[in-house]
Structure 1
Amino acid sequence: MKLVGISFGDFPSCPLLLCIALALCFNQVSSTTNETEKLALLAFKAGITRDPFGMLNSWNNSIEFCQWYGATCSRRHRRVTVLDLSSQGLFGSISPHIGNLGFLRKVKLQNNSLDHEIPPQVGQLRRLRIFLLHNNSLVGEIPRNISSCLDLIVLSVEKNELTGEIPRELSSLTKLQDFSLSNNNFIGSLPSFIGNFSSLVALSLGWNKLGGSIPQVLGYLTNLQYINFASNRLLGTIPSSLFNLSSLNKFGAAFNRIHGTLPIGMGLKLPNLEVFSIGYNQLEGPIPPSISNCTKLARFQISSNIFSRKVPSMENLHKLSWFGIHHNMLGSGEHESLSFLCSLTNSTELESVNFSMNKFGGVLPKCLGNLSTTLWSFAATEGEIFGEIPEEIRNLINLEVLFMNRNRHSGVIPSNLGNLQILKLLQLSDSNLRGTIPSSLGNLTMLIQLDLHGNDFRGQIPSHLSNCRSLDGLDLSDNNLSGAIPPHLVGLSSLAIILNLSNNHLTGILPIEVGNLRALTALDISDNLLLGEIPISLGDCTSLVHLWMEGNFFHGSIPQSIKSLGGIEYLDLSCNNLSGQIPEFLAVFRSLELLNLSYNKFEGMLPCEGVFKNATRTSIVGNNELCGGLPEFHLPNCISKSYKSRKINIVIVFASVIFGVLGMALIVVLIYLCWVKKKVNEQVSSSMDDSRLNVSYGTLLKATEGFFATNLIGVGSFGSVYKGILEDNGMVVAVKVLHLVCRGALKSFIVECEALKNIKHRNLLKILNVCSSSDYQGNDFKALVYEFMDNGSLE
């Protein structure tokens, strides 16, 4: 059979051959098209620089491209219709060759680390319906020719770094249902063409730099359920048309510059509202009472506005979980202004309540204890609330955050507060609370921060607080606490942010356990009655940035171990009894911004480097034995001071010889007088014993107002002297309290008692009594009670 030179004209009635020829042609075209799509996918793979999970390893010639991971093909034509590589940790860029995948309907590349621009070739994907690129690192502008994707119903590019204005060309995407551009850097105004998206359900434009006003036309999108404009630069009012969207369930416009009021009947027109968040704007007027009709409302957040008047009842909001009305002008200072709290007891899913920084007054109602046990955060700070903290608060067993600082509370901390065993943050500062700090707070073993500063707490710091082994911040400053610092508390290694015990009446030494605070950044023990030397272990606190120890009675030199604190920025050791030379290593601290060594007994040459180059950052006044340094410090020259010191030493030696001779003579005379008047002295001693006042530890505690700092007359090596007034007869006395923690203090006490027993002289103060007892904590207490000589002389 001869087939050469056959033409279709030779077989005018042969449709079978025509079909065969067309099929061959189609297969050839189909094969070419498939090869194009395969090459487009390989080009996409080439743009990926990192594939941590190896998901693109299957993209090779060993298997058909329709079986590659993330690629889905149509059954009939074997064309790629879905590209889904979401949440694979991919790095790289989107290849422009993606435009050759002309049958793509869905592109899902969200939750990766893709960068560079969105290629404009995506405008060739005319069949595209879903385009998800959110949570990447894409830059540049939205391609304008994406407007050619007329079937697009979901466009999500939020959480990228896109810039520019929202292209007007996108107005052609009238089938859009989800339009999400939030968390980028878009500028310009909210485009009014969004009003053309009649099918729109979700609109998310938050966290950009969009300005202008909210378009009125948005209120005509009857399918709209979700609106988010938060954190932009929007002005004007909320269009009244939006309050007519009965389909609306989530509305967010916080952190803008919106003003105006809320419609009185908004709760009647928005029956499906679940989230209403408009905080940090300039809205004013009352909270609409109709809000109680929004029975599906779960989140109500209107904080940081200018809302005023009474808070309406929330009794119908059974699904409410988040209630934030803080930082407004709500309430009137009257007792009933807190009545809304009792209406919240119907909210069985309540998680957070915050009504801080308003004008609420009165006493916290006991119904507070009836709030849902799902509540984990309660904040009522900076108001006019007074009275005691209700003990019923113990019922909120799942509470993790409790802020009630800066009010006008009274009374004590309820001891049953220790029942809140998963409490993590507790702030009761500046609230006029008194009494002792309950040891039950030691039961709060999950506590992270405890702030009780600015109250009137007395007594000792409970050692049980050392059970709070998650504590990273503790502030007990500005109280009337006394006694020693508990070693286990100051050695709590979890403390990392701050330990503030300043402005109290703490006594004793700084425990060596302070060296355990290796992660601590700020330590403040200033303005107490602490004594002894600075512990060497303080040098182990290598994370310290701020260290305040001023206003105590520390003595000795600055230990060399402090040179380990190379990151210190603020160091204040002023108003102590420190001595010796100023260490050279302080001049090497590069981070040191403020150094205060004033009013100590430092001597020798002042360094001239580092912080000592700046007289405004360094204070050394009140150290009369220092010399040298910059001229701005106005210290004497060290050479001339040395010469003067030698002259003074000669005078001192000469004077010592003369006074030594005179002293020996005086001792002989005193011994003679004691021998001559022995019987007389015995009678005086007996008389003193008979007339001695009946003085106990409690009496001396009252007389000196708890050994208060303002009654402190002076401090010696082994004791502190306080002025006091005895309650029984009003007699003014001087009470010398021995520091028994100091070595030799007890021996000094015995020697002084023995000397005063055997020696009487007109120039010696008359001793009234000796108190040897125990304080209220069972510690040994020894004191000498003298007559008080007011403005007198000991000569």
Structure 2
Amino acid sequence: MKSPQTIVYLSSSSRISFLFYGLAITCLTSTTVSASSRGNVTDYLALLSFKSKITHDPYQVLASWNHSFHFCEWSGVSCGKLHKRVIALWLDSKGLEGSLSPHVGNLSFLRELSIKNNNFQGTIPHELGHLSRLRHLYLSRNKFGGVIPTNLSRCSNLEDIWLNRNELTGSIPKEMSLLLKLAHLKIEYNMFNRWNPTFLGEYYINGRVLCCWEPVGWQHSKHLGSLEKLDRTWLCLPSEIGNQLPNLEFLQLWGNELTGVLPPSISNCTKLGRVDVGCNQSFGSLPSSIGSLVGLTILNLGPNRFKGKIPTTIGNLQKLQIIDLDNNQFSGPIPNAIGNLSLLTQLYLDYNKLEGHIPSSLGNCKQLNGLNLAHNTLTGKIPKQLLQLPSLTNFLDLSYNTLSGSIPSEIKDIKMLSELYLSYNNLSGTITSSLGECISLTVLYLCGNIFHGTLPFSLSSLRGLEVLDISQNNLSGKIPQFFDKRFSLEFLNLSFNDFEGEVPVVGVFANASAFSVLGNNKLCGGLVILELPKCKREGSKKKRFPFFVFIIVIAPTLLIVLCCVYLLCKKKRNSQPSQSTGNEPFLKVSYNELLKATDGFSTANLIGEGAFSSVYKGILNYDDGRFVAVKVLHLQNRGAHKSFLAECEAWRNIRHRNLLKIITSCSSVDFQRNDFKALVYEYMPNGSVHDWLHSSANKLKLNLLQRVNILNDVATALDYLHNRCQTTIVHGDLKPSNILLDADMVAHVGDFGLARLLGTDINQNSSTGVKGTIGYAPPEYGIGSEMTSSGDVYSFEILLLEVMTGKKPTDSMFNEGLSLHKFAYMALPDYVIDVIDNDAIVLQSTEVNAKKVEECLIATIKIGLSCSLDSPPQRMKIEIVVIELQRILDMKGYHAATSEYKISIRLTPQLHESAGGLPSLKLSLHSCSLPGSTNAMGIETSIALVLPAREHECDTSFVLGRPSALS
């Protein structure tokens, strides 16, 4: 029964140990014999030896490792289907302590050994070298010491070796050069000596390697991107890279500590499509020979320490789409030749020492959507040609220079620009009224200049403006009234100007942390916390009697008008997007700040969890109580890092009222020096659509009007992503848990971790292979098709049907050919009411209303069914979906389904003087009757409407609604 293979690795240091294994073989019970007949005794004993070396098993993972079960049924063990031999051991993150038994080397069929994130100590057994079939070896995040055994070189099929975050010493064995199939080698965070390997070539080293080397074999590579994300690596970019790598297509060495110059020989790499050596310590000048890289589409050299002039030969790179030279020491003028780059979309030259005028030739870059020239010493006027680029939609940052003159009126031609930064220059004159035509502006910074005069009324057209900073100028006049009506404005800075008159107390001025009026000595009134002097009100007594007569004469008419105005304003408020609670447009946060904000990422603050991340509620700033949602990436999970990059890339290109607003991101390390990445979003107080549909903890439910409004919001967001962005963006994972609701129940689409930017090389391949979520992903993704916008449309259809029916696509009722799609299809047209969620209360007070409701429901379900056809080209386009949903909302059927009760009221007006000396009207409600009731309800209440002698605002204390509002 014994074989030489069985005993060849038994320890010779202990007779007792040898005797134990001899007895174990000869004295097996009938159960053991049965086990061996279905497997292999060698594997059985090797596993028992593995267990015997474990000194602590806190979760009792190895409790099943006994003769009561066949070893193929033991926890963490996987066997082949035919031969019943162990092919994999998966025991990651089990808290196991002890050493790794050398008898693991007897598992001759083993293909994968994974014991990551435990507390294994001792050395790595050299017996592992006998596992000729081993492909994946994962020993990271343990406490292994000693050297890497040279015997591993005999595992000729090894593809992955993860030894990172241990206590290994010595050097990398040169014998490992024999591992020709090795693709991933992770050895960071150990205690290796300096070494000079000769074999690494194209291998992926994701971590800390203390070395200085020019690897032999690298000259055969077409993609020198394998060194990405080295941590504290002394890497010398080969000076002859261009001579030995003329066929190089991709050079990405971002985020290391690369030193030295960019060699002129790089000009020989004429096939290069991307050069990314940002975030390093490289220096020297940018060689003029770079103009030979005619295939280059992306050039990223910042931040580094490059200096000298930007070569004019850069204008030869006709395929360039992105130039990023920020945070260097480039000097001299911006080359006019950049205007030759007709495909250029983004140009970053900020934080350099550039001087001279902004070249007007930039107006020839007809696809430019983002330009950042901030923090230089540029002079002269803003060129009109630059402001006549309709493609300039994302951002224009010219701040912190010495530009002069006024803002050209041609700025009206960049109507779709989202962010404009002109702060801290020498710009003068009045603020041009043409800015009012930039209707897509969300951020406008004009601070630190010498503008004078009053603010143009045209700024009232900027309905989407969220941040406005016009501080430190010479502006004068009264604060315009349109500021106090602006619902979208989140931060307003009027400091250090010469404004005068009363500070409003409504709109943005109702929150002291959302605005600043410091340094304006002629202002009065406002919130008490501002401590401004009271405004003088002369002649108010003389006007009191005429005003009293005016109220008495037109009180009935005025009441009707106010009711109508209130209802209109209420409708408008409900259609507005949610407001951020922050007062800073851009924030920089550290790991420590996020740790404090979430109370140590406590489970009490956990509001969501997924495969790649956990989301916590927190208070980012203790001064103003700002609530945020902090999404912490699970970087230990494969694909999480790419998910983070995908989400960051997506958020760089988008901004829309129905998209979740990102506040900032954090890429750092925690206190144990582990990588830490997080995204910080605006907190959505009403949670996700999934919570409202399926959570038993949520007692409130969505009515039909709310549901269709949510669907309309989501469709509008998808229309923006697919058709309104410079680059089409596919969300890739649309589902109810990714649709979040703000305080006003406005829907915001979030989670762009699987997003894809069509037409770019960003996130084209994913190591995870994940495409959407089961039940929501379209069928073509299941056969390997690429992500497309029509796939998002399919996911929207499933979302629509789930929102309307309350049924998940993975519900247990959907089997044997029945799906959510068929469930809804079979109900049309006569039984549609039967499939609608019961929690969506439908009030059919009249036959007419009931018919309207039914028509709207049928039309809505038909939209969903039109989006889920098997053939992607036949699916309804998302822009058509938006039009159809809006048409349905205009039919008033859903309003009939959730209509508010009509109330008959009798009021008695009484004039009195309110706080501040303003006259107000007190209306006493004596009776209230509802439709269908025979007796009046004896309800008495008071409603105070302050009616100053100016344009009236809607008073939210005046309530017309359901009876509960009057209780």
Q: Deviations over 1:373-411 (max 9, x none)?
A: 5x4454454232422233444535363232111223334
**CA separation of 1:164 and 1:323: change in aligned 2, threshold 3 A:** farther
Match of 2:452 among 439, 448, 458: 458
Structure 2 CA distance for aligned equivalents of residues 363 and 301 of structure 1: 21
Structure 2 CA distance for aligned equivalents of residues 319 and 217 of structure 1: 32
2:522 corresponds to 1:530 = yes
Structure 2 CA distance for aligned equivalents of residues 417 and 263 of structure 1: 41
Match of 2:183 among 157, 178, 185: 178
**Residue 474 of structure 1 aligns with which residue?**
468
Shift of 1:268: 0.6
**CA separation of 1:473 and 1:330: change in aligned 2, threshold 3 A:** same
Shift of 1:342: 1.5
Shift of 1:447: 4.8
Indicate the SS of the match to 1:240. Answer: coil
**Residue 202 of structure 2 aligns with which residue?**
201
**CA separation of 1:258 and 1:298: change in aligned 2, threshold 3 A:** closer
Indicate the SS of the match to 2:506. Answer: helix
Q: One-letter code of the match for 1:361?
A: G
Q: Deviations over 1:104-135 (max 9, x none)?
A: 3245799xxx455688668654236543759x
Shift of 1:277: 0.8
- Give runs of aligned pairs for residues 331-370 of structure 1, distance below 5 A: 331-333=331-333, 337-347=334-344, 350-354=345-349, 356-370=351-365
**1:105/1:128 contact within 8 Å kept:** yes
**Residue 149 of structure 1 aligns with which residue?**
152
**Residue 328 of structure 1 aligns with which residue?**
328
Q: One-letter code of the match for 2:517?
A: I
**CA separation of 1:39 and 1:165: change in aligned 2, threshold 3 A:** closer
- Give runs of aligned pairs for residues 76-475 of structure 1, distance below 5 A: 76-81=82-87, 99=104, 102-106=108-112, 114=117, 116=119, 124-125=127-128, 126-127=131-132, 129-131=134-136, 138=141, 140=143, 144-145=147-148, 147-150=150-153, 151=156, 153-155=158-160, 157=162, 167-169=171-173, 172=176, 174-175=178-179, 177-181=182-186, 185-186=189-190, 191-193=195-197, 195-197=198-200, 200-205=201-206, 208=208, 210-211=209-210, 213-215=212-214, 217=216, 225-228=224-227, 232-233=231-232, 238-243=237-242, 244-246=244-246, 248-253=248-253, 258-269=258-269, 271-272=271-272, 274-293=274-293, 295-315=295-315, 317-333=317-333, 337-347=334-344, 350-354=345-349, 356-372=351-367, 375-376=369-370, 378-397=372-391, 399-415=393-409, 417=411, 420=414, 423-438=417-432, 441=435, 447-462=441-456, 473-475=467-469
**1:289/1:312 contact within 8 Å kept:** no
**CA separation of 1:511 and 1:222: change in aligned 2, threshold 3 A:** closer
- Give runs of aligned pairs for residues 511-660 of structure 1, distance below 5 A: 511-513=504-506, 518=511, 523-536=515-528, 538=529
Q: Deviations over 1:132-176 (max 9, x none)?
A: 759x9x354677446533226433649x75566674347535315
Q: One-letter code of the match for 2:275?
A: V
Q: One-letter code of the match for 2:357?
A: G
Structure 1 CA distance for aligned equivalents of residues 125 and 509 of structure 2: 60
Shift of 1:311: 1.9
Q: One-letter code of the match for 2:227?
A: N
**1:202/1:224 contact within 8 Å kept:** no
**Residue 32 of structure 1 aligns with which residue?**
41
Q: Deviations over 1:757-780 (max 9, x none)?
A: xxxxxxxxxxxxxxxxxxxxx99x
Shift of 1:366: 4.0
Shift of 1:91: 7.2
Q: Deviations over 1:605-645 (max 9, x none)?
A: xxxxxxxxxxxxxxxxxxxxxxxxxxxxxxxxxxxxxxxxx
**1:127/1:149 contact within 8 Å kept:** no
Structure 1 CA distance for aligned equivalents of residues 435 and 463 of structure 2: 12
Q: One-letter code of the match for 2:445?
A: D
Structure 2 CA distance for aligned equivalents of residues 312 and 489 of structure 1: 46
**1:235/1:257 contact within 8 Å kept:** yes
Q: One-letter code of the match for 2:401?
A: N
Structure 1 CA distance for aligned equivalents of residues 145 and 438 of structure 2: 52
**2:162/2:185 contact within 8 Å kept:** yes
**Residue 619 of structure 1 aligns with which residue?**
none
**1:396/1:420 contact within 8 Å kept:** yes
**CA separation of 1:384 and 1:170: change in aligned 2, threshold 3 A:** same
Structure 1 CA distance for aligned equivalents of residues 60 and 250 of structure 2: 38
Structure 2 CA distance for aligned equivalents of residues 447 and 222 of structure 1: 46
Identity rate of aligned residues, in percent? Answer: 21
Structure 2 CA distance for aligned equivalents of residues 50 and 444 of structure 1: 65
Q: Deviations over 1:30-69 (max 9, x none)?
A: 443465688899999x979699xxxx9x999999887999
- Give runs of aligned pairs for residues 10-25 of structure 1, distance below 5 A: none
**2:277/2:301 contact within 8 Å kept:** yes
Q: One-letter code of the match for 1:192?
A: N
Indicate the SS of the match to 1:405. Answer: coil
Q: Deviations over 1:644-696 (max 9, x none)?
A: xxxxxxxxxxxxxxxxxxxxxxxxxxxxxxxxxxxxxxxxxxxxxxxxxxxxx
Structure 1 CA distance for aligned equivalents of residues 457 and 115 of structure 2: 56
Shift of 1:302: 4.4
Q: One-letter code of the match for 2:427?
A: L
Q: Deviations over 1:480-526 (max 9, x none)?
A: 22222245536767666x643212111112211267665x7575322
Structure 1 CA distance for aligned equivalents of residues 85 and 199 of structure 2: 33
Shift of 1:262: 2.9
Shift of 1:78: 2.9
Q: One-letter code of the match for 2:520?
A: N
Structure 1 CA distance for aligned equivalents of residues 484 and 191 of structure 2: 52
**CA separation of 1:291 and 1:448: change in aligned 2, threshold 3 A:** same
Q: More relative contact order in 1 or in 2 (CA 8 Å, sep 6+)? A: 2
Structure 2 CA distance for aligned equivalents of residues 65 and 398 of structure 1: 65
**CA separation of 1:309 and 1:553: change in aligned 2, threshold 3 A:** same
> TM-score with structure 1 length normalisation?
0.51
Shift of 1:266: 1.7
**CA separation of 1:122 and 1:371: change in aligned 2, threshold 3 A:** farther
**CA separation of 1:26 and 1:553: change in aligned 2, threshold 3 A:** closer
Structure 2 CA distance for aligned equivalents of residues 324 and 513 of structure 1: 43
**CA separation of 1:525 and 1:430: change in aligned 2, threshold 3 A:** same
**1:267/1:294 contact within 8 Å kept:** no
**CA separation of 1:180 and 1:212: change in aligned 2, threshold 3 A:** closer
Structure 2 CA distance for aligned equivalents of residues 507 and 480 of structure 1: 12
**CA separation of 1:166 and 1:127: change in aligned 2, threshold 3 A:** same
**Residue 13 of structure 1 aligns with which residue?**
none
The structure in which a higher percent of residues are strand is: 1
Structure 2 CA distance for aligned equivalents of residues 300 and 467 of structure 1: 38
Tell me how many residue pairs correspond in the alignment. 503
Structure 2 CA distance for aligned equivalents of residues 534 and 213 of structure 1: 64
Indicate the SS of the match to 1:458. Answer: strand
Q: One-letter code of the match for 1:309?
A: K
- Give runs of aligned pairs for residues 749-788 of structure 1, distance below 5 A: none
Q: Deviations over 1:682-718 (max 9, x none)?
A: xxxxxxxxxxxxxxxxxxxxxxxxxxxxxxxxxxxxx
**2:146/2:168 contact within 8 Å kept:** no
Structure 2 CA distance for aligned equivalents of residues 382 and 298 of structure 1: 23
Shift of 1:328: 3.5
**2:174/2:199 contact within 8 Å kept:** no
**1:382/1:406 contact within 8 Å kept:** yes
Q: One-letter code of the match for 1:240?
A: S
